[in-house]
Structure formats: structure tokens, C-alpha cells
Structure 1
Amino acid sequence: MTSASPAHPVRLVLASRSPARLALLRAAGVDPVVRVSDVDEDAVVTSLGPGVAHTVVVTELATAKAEVIADAVAAEPEFAVGTVVIVGCDSMLSIGGSLVGKPHDVDTARNRWSVMAGSAGELLTGHCVLRLDDGRITARAARHSGTVVRFGTPDPDDLEAYLASGEPLAVAGAFTLDGLGGWFVDGIDGDPSSVVGLGLPLVRRLLAEVNVGISALWAGRGGDT
């Protein structure tokens, strides 16, 4: 059971350090407060046990991030009164039967691209929305979105230049849609914002489940980032 729709502007807290997610929300008319969870992702995945569906992994990671930030926000005086929504996300690429996240180093990214080039994978993003009223969680909703990404085959010199840029090292699947990696994406089947890292259509539906309308977030623009 969710709480009634808030009568006043709602503040949105983004539980992510991703500049792409922040830019996406700002372009959509929401200026969120940013808090970084620093969740031990490996520990969360290990706790799920072997053989867990890829969709469950990303959703549980997103939920863990949102819950950590909800606990922190609830202790902050500025959030003690009123309605706040926490949005947590986690993106990974499901390809060739494996679920892969950020490569972190050039060799790993190069190996990823040897599989991705000329192939297709599904970019999975888990989303969790928590609603807090007067510092207490009153409603929650979580699901995943999946978008098929069809990769081109980069020229070897172009791929090496892309790897040297550093961009693919810190993003799920070693590619971006909205950056340099966009040159090497032949097409997608699904929601482009989800590939960027936060699916606006799905988040809209999750917000509706916790009785928060988009217009309430627009009215609450101006959050401290």
C-alpha cells in the first residue's frame, strides 16, 4: 500500500555517481540531489548465490544502492520533513551467456569488444524507487528494463583510440550510446534512455506505483547536487 500523492513538491535523490544519469534527469526537467552509495556490489551478487537470473542481479543491486542512500538521507535534517524519492539504478550487459559490468582496464575492455563487435547483447538496468515521507520509507517499487544493443565492428585503429580515451573503462558493457561509443552502435531495440543508464519510461511507472507524479518532480527543481 502506497501513501497518498504528495501535495507539495517532491525532492528526488539519485543514488548514483553516474554523470550520464544526472545529465539525463536534468534534461528531463529534474535537478536531483546526488548521493553515492558505495555498495559492495560483489558482496551483493555473492549473497544471491549461483545461477540467479541476470535480471534479478541488476534489480537487487539497484535496490541495495537505493536502500543504503535511504538510510543515510533519513538521518539528514533537511530531509526529515516532506516527501523524498530515492532512485537507485544498476546497469550490466548480458551477452554470450555472461553478465558484464564495467571493465575498469584496457585489456578487459578490449576482450569485451572482441565478443561484442558484430554481435548483439541486452543492456539490463535495474531500477528501484523508494518513497520517504518525513524520513520514513512508505512505499517502494523495483523492476528492470532490457534493451537489445546491436554492435558494429570498429576499425582496429578506431577501437584502440576508443580504449585509450578511457570512456569504455568506467561504463557497463564497455560502451556508451550517448558518447564516443555511439559511433559503434548500429542500432537498439528498446528504450534509449535505459541504455544511457536510467530508463525514463520505467521510472515514470515506478514513481506512479509510489504515488508520485512527474509534475511533482518538475515543481521540485533546484535540488543541491
Structure 2
Amino acid sequence: MVIPAFVLASTSPARLRLLESAGIEPIVCRSDFDESQVQLSDPDELVKTLAECKAKAVIEKFSPTPTTGALTEETPKRSPLLILGCDSVLVLDGEIHGKPEDPQEAIARWQKMRGSFGDLYTGHALLDLAQDRAIVRTAITRVYFANIGDRQIEAYVATGEPLRCAGCFAIDGRGGLFVEKLEGCHTNVIGLSLPLLRQIIDDLGYDVTEFWSLPH
């Protein structure tokens, strides 16, 4: 079996770092999918749908153009492709939260989160273009937050870090100071579950170690 090139349909630095730490150096391709198109009340279905839509949105960037049949400039020399799309949300008391829109929302979110817990859902969609297969699954991690005061909340939000994260915190950054414990996969909270990714790759018939030194 030909080992495909690995594409990350995201410009998330955290997801890229996770893959690189696991020995996978992906081709990074921004997905411009409009998330507002998807309105679902079930967090599991929401993150799976968004992850798959994000992955599918980059396929055309690696396809021949309809007029000339020429490959686009982003096309890697190695093909076929595996395309990974991901999406995360935090569920607090049954309410779904994505990235806070502004500092005021982030402060209010943390005032609700502190001393409590939330469930971080991350959808993983891996498209195998060679086999015309897609596997879409969700990892869920329960996050317990420290009971911090308003001053620390405001100081943390002032750093800007919570505004860049669906959960309103980055456990691999300053936010790690305010997380008491996790139940479930810790890399899932950073951006993607490496154990789940390995399982999906296995189910597609590949060995994850074959991606460790794959040239583009």
C-alpha cells in the first residue's frame, strides 16, 4: 500500500505542534469553511460535522483545475492524501461554547467555569482520498477548573490566550495553571487526540509509524 501524504486542514499552531511531536510533519492547508453554516444542538454531531466539512473544504486545493487539468501550486509531489480536519467545543452545564467573541465574554465564561468542570469535545475527520473513505469520530475529555478569583481571571483574559481557544483556555499555556485535573485524553484538550488519531489511521489500514519520516 502506498503511504499517502498527510494534510492538516487547519492553521492551528497547537494541532501542528502535536502532530510534529508525534513524528508527523503534515502539509498545512488552511480550511476556509464557514462554520456558521452548521447549527446543531448535539455537541458530538456538531464537532464531527464541522471537522468533516473543514477537511472536505481543502480537497479542491489538491485537485486538477477544471479547465486545464493542471495541478494547483499547493499540490504536493507525493500523493494520494490523508486529510485531517478537527473542531473543538466546550460544554458547560449542557451549553455549547466555542471561542469567546471578546474579553467580556471570556471573563463571564471563566466566572462560570471556575470551581466547576466542562467537557471538551473534539471531532476528528480523516479523509483517505486513495480509498475514498472517511472516518469521523469524537474524543471527549472532562476538565476540572480551579476556583480562581476575579483578579486572576481578568489577568488571564488580558493575555489574549483565552480568546484563541474554544475552551477559553490553553492547557499547554498559561491556562494550564488553572486546570486542576483531566479525565480522558490530555492531548485532546490541546487540539486533537493522538491516541484516537492512531486508531483511525489503523482502521484505514495504515501503520502510524510509517508516517514518521514521510517526505512531502
**Structure 2 unaligned residues grouped into runs of 5+:** 65-70
* Bigger relative contact order, structure 1 or 2 (CA pairs below 8 A, ≥6 apart): 1
Q: How many Å separate the matches in 1 of 2:172 and 2:4?
A: 28
Give the drift of 1:80: 7.4
Give the AA of the match of 2:7. V
Q: Partner of 1:69 in structure 2?
A: 58
| Partner Cα distance (1:154, 1:15) in 2 | 35
Structure 1 position 160, deviation (Å): 1.3
Q: 2-side partners of 1:90 and 1:176: how far apart?
A: 15
Q: Distance in 2 between matches of 1:63 and 1:95?
A: 24
Q: Structure 1 CA distance, aligned partners of 2:78 and 2:167?
A: 39
Residue matched to 1:58: 47
Q: Which residue of 1 aligns with 2:148?
A: 154
The 5 A counterparts of 1:26-45 are 26-45=20-39
Corresponding residue for residue 128 of structure 1: 125
Question: Which among 98, 109, 112 is matched to residue 109 of structure 2?
Answer: 112
Query: % of aligned pairs identical?
Result: 38
Normalised to the residue count of structure 2, the TM-score between the two structures is 0.91
Does structure 1 conserve the Cα–Cα contact (< 8 Å) formed by 2:111 and 2:150?
no
**Distance in 2 (alpha carbons) for counterparts of 1:80 and 1:40:** 29
3-state SS in 2 of match to 1:173: coil
Q: Say how many residue pairs are matched.
A: 208
Shift of 1:176: 1.2
CA distance in 2, matches of 1:128, 1:162: 32
> For residues 32 and 179 of structure 1, what CA distance do their matches in structure 2 show?
23
For residues 77 and 16 of structure 2, the distance between their equivalents in structure 1, rounded to whole angstroms, comes to: 24
* Aligned-residue offset at 1:156: 2.3
Q: 1:211 to 1:186 in 2, by over 3 A?
A: same
User: Contact conserved, 2:5 with 2:78, CA < 8 A, in 1?
Assistant: no
How much does 1:124 deviate?
Answer: 0.2
Q: Can you give the 5+ residue segments of structure 1 that lack an aligned partner in the other structure?
A: 1-5
Kept after mapping to 2: 8 A contact 1:154/1:184: yes
Q: CA separation in 2, counterparts of 1:132 and 1:67?
A: 10
Output the CA distance in 2 between the equivalents of 1:40 and 1:144: 20
TM-score by length of 1: 0.87
- Specify the alignment match of 1:211 in structure 2: 205
Q: Deviations over 1:8-59 (max 9, x none)?
A: x4311101111000011111111111111121111122xx5xxx42100010
For residue 178 of structure 2, what is the aligned residue in structure 1? 184
CA offsets 1:153-185 (integer angstroms, 9 cap, x no match): 223222211111000001012011111100000
Structure whose residues are more often helix by fraction: 1
Equivalent-residue separation in structure 1 for 2:62 and 2:135 (angstroms): 18
**CA shift digits 1:139-162 (9 cap, x unpaired):** 110010000000002232222111
C-alpha RMSD of the superposition: 1.6
Q: Indicate conservation of the 8 Å contact 2:23/2:213, yes or no.
A: no
